[in-house]
A and B are shown apart, each in its own frame.
Chain A
Amino acid sequence: MSAPAMGTTKTAHSDVAPKKKRGPGALATAYLVIYNVVMTAGWLVIAVGLVRAYLARGSYHGLYYSIEKPLKFFQTGALLEVLHCAVGIVPSSVVLTGFQVLSRVFLTWAVTHSVREVQNEDSVLLFVSAWTITEIIRYSFYTFSLLNHLPYLIKWARYTFFLVLYPMGVTGELLTVYAALPYVQKTGLYSVTLPNKYNFSFDYHTFLILTMVSYIPLFPQLYFHMMRQRKKVLCHVEEYKTE
């Protein structure tokens, strides 16, 4: 006769959908809804801006300038998400979220903004488009989730579009950093050389190369994590449907 195990777990299934376990209070939920709606709107503005600029100019070239300001504003605004995790109203890891947001902010300010010469590159359009579509879907996903009224289409989009958008964004990002390299080396941008009072040096050019190299271990991990999430979220729902 087997003895009951101590501390039986209450839930039968482990949570698959990104539902909050404890849940933020009503005020926090209201704030998060507003935040996510504003972000969705912001990225829609960027999307519309890109389309309008393309139609006006008739070419893909130099569209960055038409959405430069909203891009900087809304991408930088995503830093708030780190705060949300730190305060606890969003059940994500501070480190993971911080890392993701920082990498975006880094590309926006420390590469694209800082190295003026790359702003005309097509690779910029590549990652901006990828980010725009991803963020519109992601923020609307969060909005609907918070309101407990998530259309399957949005959930499906969130866990499917990344299959193309992720590699697209990564390609755009890597090409942009690569394009920035010669200018950084020539001007010694953000670099400190010896000798100096604090016995410290920093070579931004080398740093950018190391950043590019870091994509090799990081990107597959993130990509396959999303694929596993996709399987859990989308297939799990199908199981429920067939019951």
Chain B
Amino acid sequence: MSRTTFFEVEVLDGRTRQQLCFLDKVEPHATIGEIKSLFHKSYQQLYPARQDLKLDPKGKSLRDDDVLQNLPVGTTATIYFKDLGPQVGWTMVFLAEYLGPLFIYLLFYFRAPYIYSHQDVFTSSPYSVVTLACACHTCHYIKRLIEAIFVHRFSHGTMPLRTIVRNCVYYWAFSAWLAFYINHPLYTPPSYGDMQVNYALAIFVLCELGNFSIHVALNNLKAEGGPKCRRFPHPTKNPFTWLFFFVSCPNYTYEVGAWASFSVMTQCLPVALFTFLAFIQMTIWAKGKHKTYSREFKDYPHLRMPIIPLLL
């Protein structure tokens, strides 16, 4: 019978250095995830997703799949703990972030009471573009909800509660603001009339289809690859994915395109502002992703830019 050297793990608070928990007889091949579960037993409120464990209070966080004996610790490991606060699962996050704008826009479209003046309650706009805009906005968020529930696979389990509240406030407030103007009784339709609306609508639809194709492609990549085999996305038979020749994150490219065309379709400055801010945020994400890809894969195509072909 072989003797396994058991590890001892002491968990200290990262800030106060007080000992929170002492675990003895820990298997050497135990993972950080298992240690989090053990810690959870002592502290009911601190479920694993809330725990941030590190070997050095100022260092990087340990991953759930890190194995104890592979870490640079002796047989007694000192681990520092930080409470990440209440966490919410990603699916819940997206539901909250998308259901809000969906319903809020409709409140404005149907001119619910107390938004516009009394005589405008439950009236409708004479302009077809207003109805079209409502359809586009609604379809956009329904598509996102479907993707969140059925398509996306999430690598991290959760997001902190505070972040969700902040994100929701942002999305909900902004959609209220832009819906207010588009559905306003004093709304002015686009300067170039139907031509402007139709061209913008066409581009909007193409971008939505493109965005969806990319999400499906990324999802399939995760499905085929499995946890250990990491590959980067490639263009497939679907023409929408051919944007992968030029950019690392075509889903963001299409998203910006959709919102830009929505701005042109409604000729509404608040929408343009939303598009601009979204573009900035997505560019930051795309650049990060691009850097990760370039670093991880030696054969990463040089032609690809993060978000805008040949430019950015």
Interface residues of A (CB under 8 A from B): 1-9, 194-201
With A5-B56, A7-B59, A194-B186 given, is the CB distance from A199 to B75 under 8 Å?
Answer: no
**Main SS of chain B's interface residues?**
loop
Which residues 57-81 of B sit at the A interface, judged by CB distance below 8 A? 58-59, 72-78
A3 touching B74, Cβ below 8 Å = yes
A2-B10, A3-B78, A198-B269 given; name 17 further pairs at CB < 8 Å.
Answer: A2-B76, A4-B74, A5-B56, A5-B78, A6-B73, A7-B58, A9-B58, A194-B181, A195-B188, A196-B188, A198-B267, A198-B268, A199-B181, A199-B184, A199-B188, A200-B181, A200-B269
Q: Are B55 and A199 in contact (CB under 8 A)?
A: no
Whether A3 lies near B73 (C-beta < 8 A) is yes
Distance, CA A196 to CA B75, complexed state (A): 72
* Contact with B182, one of A3, A199, A201 (Cβ below 8 angstroms): A199
Q: What are 11 A-B residue pairs whose CB atoms fall within 8 Å in the complex?
A: A2-B10, A2-B74, A3-B76, A4-B74, A5-B56, A7-B55, A7-B58, A7-B59, A197-B191, A199-B184, A199-B266
Binding site for A on B (CB under 8 A): 10, 55-56, 58-59, 72-78, 181-182, 184, 186-188, 191, 266-270
In angstroms, how far is the closest chain B Cβ from the Cβ of A14?
A: 10
User: Roughly how many angstroms separate A196 CA and B269 CA in the complex, as a whole number?
Assistant: 10
Chain A residues with CB under 8 Å of B77's CB are: 3
List A contacts of B182 (CB < 8 A).
199
A199 touches B187 (CB 8 A): yes
Output the least CB separation between B130 and chain A (Å).
11
Cβ contact of A197, chosen from B72, B74, B184, B188, cutoff 8 A = B188
Distance of A197 Cα from B76 Cα, bound (Å): 70
Chain B residues near A6 (CB, 8 Å)?
Answer: 55-56, 59, 72-73
User: Contacts of A197 on B, CB cut-off 8 Å?
Assistant: 188, 191, 267
* Residues of chain B contacted by A1 (CB below 8 angstroms): 74-76
A102 to chain B, nearest CB (A): 17
Minimal beta-carbon separation of B275 from chain A (angstroms): 14
CA gap between A194 and B268 in the complex, in Å = 12
Known: A194-B184, A199-B267. A3 touches B191 (CB 8 A): no
Inter-chain contacts of A3 with B (CB < 8 A): 73-78
Chain A residues with Cβ below 8 Å from B75 are 1, 3
B12, closest chain A residue (CB): A5
Q: Which chain A residue lies CB-closest to B55?
A: A6
Q: What are the residues of chain A within 8 A of B73 when measuring CB–CB?
A: 3, 6
Bound-state CA distance A63–B49 (Å) is 60
* Residues from chain A with Cβ under 8 Å of B184 in the complex: 194, 199
Give chain A residues whose Cβ lies under 8 Å from the Cβ of B187.
194-195, 199
A38 to chain B, nearest CB (A): 34
Q: In the complex, what's the smallest C-beta–C-beta distance from B262 to chain A, in angstroms? A: 13
Q: Are A200 and B268 in contact (CB under 8 A)?
A: yes
Closest residue of chain A to B178 (Cβ to Cβ) is: A199
- Which residues of chain B are within 8 angstroms of A194 by Cβ–Cβ distance? 181, 184, 186-187
Residues of B within 8 A of A8 (CB): 56
B88, chain A: closest CB distance, angstroms: 24
A98 to chain B, nearest CB (A): 15
Contacts of B76 in A (CB 8 A): 1-3
Instruction: Report B-chain residues with C-beta under 8 Å of the C-beta of A198.
Output: 267-269
Task: Report A-chain residues with C-beta under 8 Å of the C-beta of B270.
Answer: 199-200
Q: What is the distance, in angstroms, from B15's C-beta to the closest C-beta of chain A?
A: 12
Contacts of A199 in B (CB 8 A): 181-182, 184, 187-188, 266-270
Question: Which 4 A-B residue pairings sit nearest by Cβ, starting from the closest?
Answer: A3-B74, A200-B269, A195-B186, A194-B186
Q: Which residues of A contact B72 (CB under 8 A)?
A: 6
A225 to chain B, nearest CB (A): 18
In chain B, what residue has the closest Cβ to A202? B269
Question: Contact between A201 and B181 (Cβ–Cβ < 8 Å)?
Answer: yes
In the complex, the chain B residue whose C-beta lies closest to that of A192 is B269
In the complex, A219→B66 CA distance in Å? 44
The CA-CA distance from A56 to B77 in the complex, in Å, is 74
Given A1-B76, A195-B188, A197-B191, A7 contacting B269 (CB threshold 8 A): no
From A9, A196, A198, A201, residue with most partner B Cβ within 10 Å: A198
Find chain B residues with CB under 8 A from A2 CB.
Answer: 10, 74, 76, 78
A1-B8 Cα distance, complex, nearest whole Å: 10
Query: In whole angstroms, how far apart are the Cα atoms of A201 and B55 in the complex?
Result: 53
Report the minimal beta-carbon distance from B276 to chain A, rounded to whole angstroms. 14
**Which chain A residue has the least Cβ–Cβ distance from B79?**
A5
* Residue ID in chain B nearest A201 by CB atoms: B181
Which residues on A sit within 8 Å (CB–CB) of B59? Answer: 6-7
Of the candidates A3, A9, A194, A200, the one having the most CB atoms from chain B within 10 angstroms of its own CB is A3
A232 to B: closest C-beta gap in Å: 16
Contact partners of B74 in chain A: CB under 8 A: 1-4
A214 to chain B, nearest CB (A): 15
Give chain A residues whose Cβ lies under 8 Å from the Cβ of B78: 2-3, 5
Once the chains are docked, how many angstroms separate the CA of A160 from the CA of B188?
55
**In this complex, what residue of A is CB-closest to B72?**
A6
- Measured CA separation A223–B218 after assembly (Å): 48
